[in-house]
Amino acid sequence: MSAATSAIKPRLLAPLALSGPTTLFFIGLVLLPLLLTVILSFNSYDYTAGIQSDFTFANYLTVLQDEYYLSTFWRTLRLALLTTVITVLIGVPEAYILSNMRKPWRSIFLLVIIGPLLVSVVVRTFGWSMLLGKNGFVNSALALVGLEPVQLLYTETAIVIGLVHIMLPFMVIPVWTVLQKLDPTVEAAALTLGASRFTALRRIVFPQASLGILSGSLIVFALSASSFAIPGLLGGRRLKMAATLVYDEFLIELNWPLGATIAIIVLVANLVIMLAYNRLIERQAKRKLG
Amino acid sequence: MSFLNLDKVSKFYGPVAAVHDFGLAVEKGEFISLLGPSGCGKTTTLQMITGLVRPSAGTITMGGRDITHLPPPKRELGVVFQSYALFPHMTVAQNVSFGLEMRKVAKAERDRRIKEILALVHLSALADRYPREMSGGQRQRVAIARALVINPPVLLLDEPLSNLDAQLREEMQFELRRIQQTVGITTIMVTHDQAEALSISDRVVVMEKGRITQVDTPYELYEHPRNDFISSFVGKSNFLRATSAFNGKGAAISIDNTQIRFNTDRREPDGKVSVFIRPEKLRLTAPAEGQIQGKVTTRYFMGSQWLVSAETPAGVLAVAVPNLGAPPPVEGETVGLAWQSADCRVLAGAAK
């Protein structure tokens, strides 16, 4: 009996000892700064006296009543959604083609897809601004065929193009992983039952990949909604998204509490949207795919 | 002209022939099994009939129409895959419905046919289940229902029973035959299990290294295997070392010191032959009464029969003794073994 009770102790301590360091790390690097930001968002700011350590809802009221902030939030949501939809439309077929490739080509093209992640976002975004700029490649090409030049840089289109380019690997990889696990004879079965290739993809292959599409779109949406470099460089000074707005408040207006408030609102909105979406799709997929 | 014809069909992967000069004529309503060890080309042959694999040479005709290069959706065949290949995100009814939807069958008609086919495979109660909520045998039935509901001219089964446990496999074998005969559909089944092939087929096609070695009814195949590969692959068999001396009428085969006469015109240059006999055709006798003497080395109780092995001068012989109540001799005992020469087949070459 006594031997058994003394044996329990190390068994209880082991999980604590193993998870302790990461927990402390997580608390120190994620929870604590987050808590400080929340506290900061309830402080008030005075342009002459700086941050006051009081408690007020004024920041939240300001942000939620101001047309400028609301329109920026709306733009952030719209562009993130649009980016997600486009990456699904491009990334899912791309993943399918990738999963059907033969031996050497598959690894080569996987590298081509992941490759851009090895280059800094800022560098890639500057690449896009050169392509889309007034005298950039796109406009030169349009001029060659005798068309009017178009304003692409510093528009929402430019932001979406940049975001889609950077987010694609985050869609392709989870979908590809799921497709790899599918039984190829299931698709063959659809063909023998009279389905065209396209119908077999639409009704049989892609629905089975729905969990991969779900995780891919959650990653893409979250990263797009909080992206900073791309809207900053391709959207210019006037087209703001949530992250650039927070940057402005912190570093240009120096109004830290207001910046913190925007950051918290974006975080909460992002969480609510993602959790709702996750529940909606996952519940359906769980029931069907187990 | 038969209903389904394969004429000199071959499939090459590079220089390797997966299937070579496969020729077979299948009559309407026939149940054919393609039997062979793994890698013998039987599945490739089936896939060429489904259209999932393109033949390198030869022609396939069905009902007088050349379908050699027709894509799979145009062939309208019913295919049951080894893994069943059910659509995991669809219910049983939706799985079965898919082929009908592809044929643009109206909703009411679709529902009627789904109901009918699910009743045939005894799954009416499970129409709204998802495949993962079902047992292996039930999934198998769904796969069969899904293939049959489109009224295909031919049903193709790829190792349909290999994923089931032994008891269920036997049950499904007879179930498969019942369904096939109810519908009266021409069926081709690929299998590596000889018992499966023998019990339910009208004809069995034995394949070895991409070629057909024998096409026969199950009984003929079992009783008159054409070579020693088939005789050892189909059922259990004994090979006895023997020598043959050819004279005008036939061969005199000597096993140990016993002479047996065979009416054969086969002449072996070195006189070395093997005599093939099924374990159930051998009888155990008192030591002096048999054609050959041996010592029992092992005996296994199989329920309905005993499997006794005896070491004899002509090699180790397996004897199947029906379990009629009296236990057979124990290990180490000397016994006699007797047979009728009509039950023996003489094959060329020394027994291995």
Given A189, A285, A289, which is nearest B81 (Cβ)?
A189
Q: Do the Cβ atoms of B52 and A192 come within 8 Å?
A: yes
Kindly report the number of other CB atoms within 10 A of residue A137's CB atom. Answer: 11
Is the confidence at residue B181, as pLDDT, over 70? yes
Kindly report whether the global pTM for this prediction surpasses the value 0.90.
Answer: no
Could you read off the pLDDT of B40-51 as tens digits, one per residue? 999 999 999 999
User: CB distance from B79 to chain A under 8 Å?
Assistant: yes
- Collapsed DSSP state (helix, strand, coil) of residue B272: strand
User: CB distance from B94 to chain A under 8 Å?
Assistant: no
Tokens standing for residue B51: 């259209």
DSSP summary character for residue B296:
E
Distance from CA of B105 to the nearest CA of A (A): 12
DSSP codes of every residue in A62-105? HHHH-HHHHHHHHHHHHHHHHHHHHHHHHHHHHHHHHHTS-HHH
Return the pLDDT at B248: 56
Return the pLDDT at B106: 95
Is the confidence at residue B242, as pLDDT, over 90? no
Q: Report chain B residues whose CB lies below 8 A from the CB of A188.
A: 50, 52, 72, 79, 81, 85
Kindly report the number of other CB atoms within 10 A of residue B229's CB atom. Answer: 16
**What's the Cα-to-Cα distance from B58 to each of B5, B62, B93, B211, rounded to whole Å?**
10, 14, 39, 14
Task: Name the pLDDT band for B250 (thresholds 50, 70, 90).
Answer: low
Inter-residue long-range contacts of B112-119, CB under 8 Å, 24+ positions, other chains counted: B113/B149, B114/B149, B117/B145, B117/B148, B117/B149, B118/B92, B118/B93, B118/B145
Q: Do the Cβ atoms of B52 and A208 come within 8 Å?
A: no
Sites in chain A below the pLDDT cut of 70? 1-10, 289-290
Which site among A193, A211, A281 would you substitute to test the B interface, given the most B Cβ atoms closer than 10 Å to its Cβ?
A193
Return the pLDDT at B240: 79
Distance from CA of B200 to the nearest CA of A (A): 25
Q: Do the Cβ atoms of A185 and B76 come within 8 Å?
A: no
Lowest mean pLDDT among A220-234, B58-72, B163-177: B163-177
Mean pLDDT score, B135-142 = 91
* Bridge partners (DSSP) listed for residue B298: B309
* Bridge partners (DSSP) listed for residue B61: B5, B66
Is the confidence at residue B352, as pLDDT, over 50? no
pLDDT, mean over chain B: 87
φ, ψ for residue B234, nearest 5 deg = -100, 105
Task: Name the pLDDT band for B256 (thresholds 50, 70, 90).
Answer: low
Which site among A178, A181, A192 would you substitute to test the B interface, given the most B Cβ atoms closer than 10 Å to its Cβ?
A192
User: CB distance from B337 to chain A under 8 Å?
Assistant: no
Task: Name the pLDDT band for B12 (thresholds 50, 70, 90).
Answer: very high
Q: Do the Cβ atoms of A289 and B85 come within 8 Å?
A: no
Which of B111, B109, B186 lies closest to B147 in space, CA to CA? B186
User: CB distance from B98 to chain A under 8 Å?
Assistant: yes
Distance from CA of B95 to the nearest CA of A (A): 10
Could you read off the pLDDT of B210-219 as tens digits, one per residue? 999 999 999 9
Return the pLDDT at B28: 94
Return the pLDDT at B231: 82
Given A196, A207, A287, which is nearest B73 (Cβ)?
A196
Pairing of strands A50-52, B4-13: unpaired
Distance from CA of B42 to the nearest CA of A (A): 17
Return the pLDDT at B265: 58
Given A186, A196, A287, which is nearest B87 (Cβ)?
A186
Mean pLDDT score, B186-201 = 92
Is the confidence at residue B124, as pLDDT, over 80? yes
